[in-house]
Amino acid sequence: MASTQEKATHKNNTPSPSSSSSAQVLQNWSLAAPSEDPIPKAASMAALIRPAETIADPPATKTTTSKGISIMPRAQTSHPLDPLSAAEISVAVATVRAAGATPEVRDSMRFIEVVLVEPDKHVVALADAYFFPPFQPSLLPRTKGGPVIPSKLPPRKARLVVYNKRSNETSIWIVELSEVHAATRGGHHRGKVISSKVVPNVQPPMDAMEYAECEAVVKDFPPFREAMKKRGIEDMDLVMVDPWCAGYHSSADAPSRRLAKPLIFCRTESDCPMENGYARPVEGIHVLVDMQNMVVIEFEDRKLVPLPPADPLRNYTAGETRGGVDRSDVKPLQIIQTEGPSFRINGNFIAWQKWNFRIGFTPREGLVIYSVAYIDGSRGRRPVAHRLSFVEMVVPYGDPNDPHYRKNAFDAGEDGLGKNAHSLKKGCDCLGYIKYFDAHFTNFTGGVETIENCVCLHEEDHGILWKHQDWRTGLAEVRRSRRLTVSFICTVANYEYGFFWHFYQDGKIEAEVKLTGILSLGALQPGETRKYGTTIAPGLYAPVHQHFFVARMDMAVDCKPGEAFNQVVEVNLKVEEPGKDNVHNNAFYAEEELLRSELQAMRDCNPLTARHWIVRNTRNVNRTGQLTGFKLVPGSNCLPLAGSEAKFLRRAAFLKHNLWVTPYAHDEMYPGGEFPNQNPRVGEGLATWVKQNRSLEEADVVLWYVFGVIHIPRLEDWPVMPVDRIGFMLMPHGFFNCSPAVDVPPSTTDLELKDNDIATKPIQNVIIAKL
């Protein structure tokens, strides 16, 4: 991923040559060759490294643009957690392709995914401590004589998932990117293959190029054209073919073949690209496509169901809706922040209020938040989490009829949330003073594609943070809340999903998913109704279904890299038994239970007891002597509405509980395993890992929070469904006992930030942490 800073040239973004700040000395040092001695003999470590608790740059390192905007110094090279650049992706692909044994092997290589190999946590700590501003040496433990600092960081590495279209094999490659700069001097690969292995009996995620080719193949299949002709459709330009993955229901779906089972829809006008074709599902046609050879291997016209009549509201283009009138009584709403935003950025490093973190992006997960920390006065930088992301998403449908019973999409593992993200538009997707970030991916054939404005960063006014009125004096005090939001939106067939991470001034982090887009529908015979859905228009019904999301949270509450001092406690409210301790029968209290092992930590939400979980540091206490921590506060939630033998639970056993906890392991990333597509293995992934029943009493813990929504479609959901919101919060618990913020001015103007390394407005709305 690249920020928009790479698209423009900026001036005055480096310190002047006369600057002698410690940070500048350290910058030069980090670039020195091993044989050089860049440290002045008289210089001490204290003089070279500024205090860790200071987020703002030292005065000598700040520079000013012509607009008076202070900016952070530019990092010299890619941070170890920065997403792969377009050049790095090109080098990785070229390196793997060149390593193919024969021309046939090289020509048949298809590139599913190229991602950064995330380094060990100690490498990240070293980079943040000494190589990249704002320089945080407190991340590393103190040693006698001072730390020994290497002159450079380890080379970055790429991990490639490659599908061989000729042999139907999937392989994983690791490439060292030691000379990526050579790619800009003629395109020659300069990577080094570290390892490669074939992964047997799997199918990797599907790709957009495959989907487009599958649609063309189905439309050209003569029996299909004949079946559509029976339904009154001869213009194939009207037909929409959505190639859904086959899932796994029996041995016929085994990964020995790469399969898709498309769903068919049909528009009414070929000259209306924004018409809602999902309003006319084509029922009764069974198609099975061999995606390796791109041929239809099964076809059956099982039942002739008339196409639903054209809906007068089918066109959802603004100003062109048939049969309705666009609203004209909404006045303009302007969001203004004339002095710019309060956040500051340096590449992918974000600092806002007392928060700082890094932004990443992967083809599978989409947005990733790294190295989340809170700057807490004299206690300096206090880590909260090493890595936050959404790692899987499952959408099971509740209609047992064909084809809906097979609709159990793994939208992350089978398709990729990141690869299905799209460019955001200011004034629509995001409002306010916006900083966009681009994302780079490989396409199926190995070319590099860029999604511009893929991630949105902006501030939002969030109502009242705190208010109190003294009834004796009549005086009132009120503080408005502001939050920093990082988000992206992806489209998977008919649905849109917006993923949001909100950072608040009171030390809270909120994760939110917004579901919007268009329903996946079925057609009905005249007079027919369905028990397992809602009739929403003549001849048209929407099946009931669920959406589940899995947030993976690699926590590090008050832990420096290398420390494993966290544990998880479950809290339930209990009513005191009647007796001498409860003579008025009104007593209740919070009861805590330490989750000591993985099997004990398989937990479900319980709103009747206000159940929540606290990640505690076992070594640090707050000002009242309690262990510091962050609590996970569930929002609305549910469990799968399916029998224990449901086929989709074979691949999605992780949906059986709302919370799982594991000790950190670098290869335990995806709860359904890396390759859920056509996966025949029962319980692979999270449900298998926890059988080790590893200790959690003091560990480097990872939380897996599963949360979902039950969608019972309503008539008003049509044609474009309203937003459903689900989420959870990470809230301070004995960690940040925050006093109210000072008054906050109204938020943001509708502008895109194109400046490099932005630090526009001094942070004024400060929260004081009291421990």
The pair phi, psi for residue 93, each rounded to 5°, is -65, -45
Asked if 555 and 386 touch (Cβ cutoff 8 Å), the reply is yes
Q: Give dist(CA 7, CA 66) in Å, integer.
A: 19
Nearest CA to 362 out of 552, 211, 98, 574 is that of: 552
CA 548, 554, 556: angle at the middle one, nearest 5?
Answer: 145
The pLDDT tens digits of the residues spanning 382-426 come to 999 999 999 999 999 999 999 999 999 999 999 999 999 999 987
Asked if 277 and 240 touch (Cβ cutoff 8 Å), the reply is yes
Q: Is residue 33 part of a domain?
A: no
Give the model's pLDDT for residue 337: 86
For residue 673, the SS3 value is coil
Question: Residue 193 belongs to a domain with what CATH number?
Answer: 3.10.450
Q: Is residue 761 part of a domain?
A: no
Average pLDDT, the chain: 83
Lowest mean pLDDT among 131-140, 246-255, 327-336, 725-734: 725-734
Give the model's pLDDT for residue 188: 54
The helix (run of H) or strand (run of E) holding residue 594 is: strand 588-594
Out of 495, 504, 541, 670, pick the active-site residue.
Answer: 495
Does the pLDDT value for residue 766 go beyond 90? no
For residues 175 and 305, membership in a common domain is answered with no
Please state the rounded mean pLDDT for residues 617-644. 94
Tokens standing for residue 31 = 């670039």
Q: Between 316 and 206, where is the model more confident? A: 206
Out of 242, 411, 438, 755, pick the active-site residue.
Answer: 411
Asked if 421 and 407 touch (Cβ cutoff 8 Å), the reply is no
For residues 175 and 104, membership in a common domain is answered with yes
Nearest CA to 461 out of 72, 749, 736 is that of: 749
Does the pLDDT value for residue 462 go beyond 60? yes
Q: Give dist(CA 248, CA 149) in Å, integer.
A: 51
Give the model's pLDDT for residue 10: 37
Tokens standing for residue 84 = 């792969």
For residue 228, the SS3 value is helix
List Cα–Cα distances, 172 to 111, 209, 446, 574, in angstroms. 10, 20, 15, 51
pLDDT band at 217 (very low <50, low <70, confident <90, very high): very high
Does the pLDDT value for residue 51 go beyond 70? no
Please state the rounded mean pLDDT for residues 287-306. 96
pLDDT band at 335 (very low <50, low <70, confident <90, very high): confident
CA 679, 683, 684: angle at the middle one, nearest 5?
Answer: 60
Tokens standing for residue 490 = 């992806």
Residue 588: how many other CB atoms lie within 10 Å: 12
Please state the rounded mean pLDDT for residues 141-157. 80
For residues 133 and 215, membership in a common domain is answered with no
For residues 415 and 496, membership in a common domain is answered with yes
For residues 356 and 447, membership in a common domain is answered with yes
Q: Is residue 77 part of a domain?
A: no
Q: Is residue 64 part of a domain?
A: no
The pLDDT tens digits of the residues spanning 169-189 come to 999 999 999 755 444 444 455
The pLDDT > 70 percentage for the chain reads 81
504 is catalytic: no
57 is catalytic: no
For residues 381 and 295, membership in a common domain is answered with no
For residues 215 and 271, membership in a common domain is answered with yes
For residues 292 and 345, membership in a common domain is answered with no
Q: Is residue 658 part of a domain?
A: yes
Q: Give dist(CA 717, CA 711) in Å, integer.
A: 10
For residues 219 and 114, membership in a common domain is answered with no
Count structural domains, the chain: 3
Q: Is residue 42 part of a domain?
A: no
Please state the rounded mean pLDDT for residues 138-142. 79
Q: Which residue range forms the structural domain that includes residue 227?
A: 206-316
CA 543, 545, 547: angle at the middle one, nearest 5?
Answer: 150
The helix (run of H) or strand (run of E) holding residue 229 is: helix 222-230
For residues 592 and 537, membership in a common domain is answered with yes
DSSP string, 607-639: GGGT-EEEEEEEEEE-TTSPEEEEEEEE-S---
Q: Is residue 424 part of a domain?
A: yes
Question: Residue 229 belongs to a domain with what CATH number?
Answer: 3.10.450.40
Please state the rounded mean pLDDT for residues 746-758. 36
Lowest mean pLDDT among 213-222, 276-285, 761-770: 761-770
Question: Residue 345 belongs to a domain with what CATH number?
Answer: 2.70.98.20
Tell me whether strands 433-442 and 751-753 are parallel, antiparallel or unpaired.
parallel
Beta strands in 269-343 (DSSP E): 285-290, 295-301
pLDDT band at 332 (very low <50, low <70, confident <90, very high): confident
For residues 550 and 475, membership in a common domain is answered with yes
What is the 3 state secondary structure string of 700-769? CEEEEEEEEEEECCCHHHCCCEEEEEEEEEEEEECCCEECCCCCCCCCCCCEEECCCCCECCCCCCCCCE
Alpha-carbon torsion (518, 520, 526, 529), positive or negative: negative
Nearest CA to 236 out of 248, 221, 251 is that of: 221
The pLDDT tens digits of the residues spanning 465-491 come to 999 999 999 999 999 999 999 999 999
Q: Is residue 34 part of a domain?
A: no
Nearest CA to 658 out of 707, 609, 601 is that of: 707
For residues 422 and 495, membership in a common domain is answered with yes
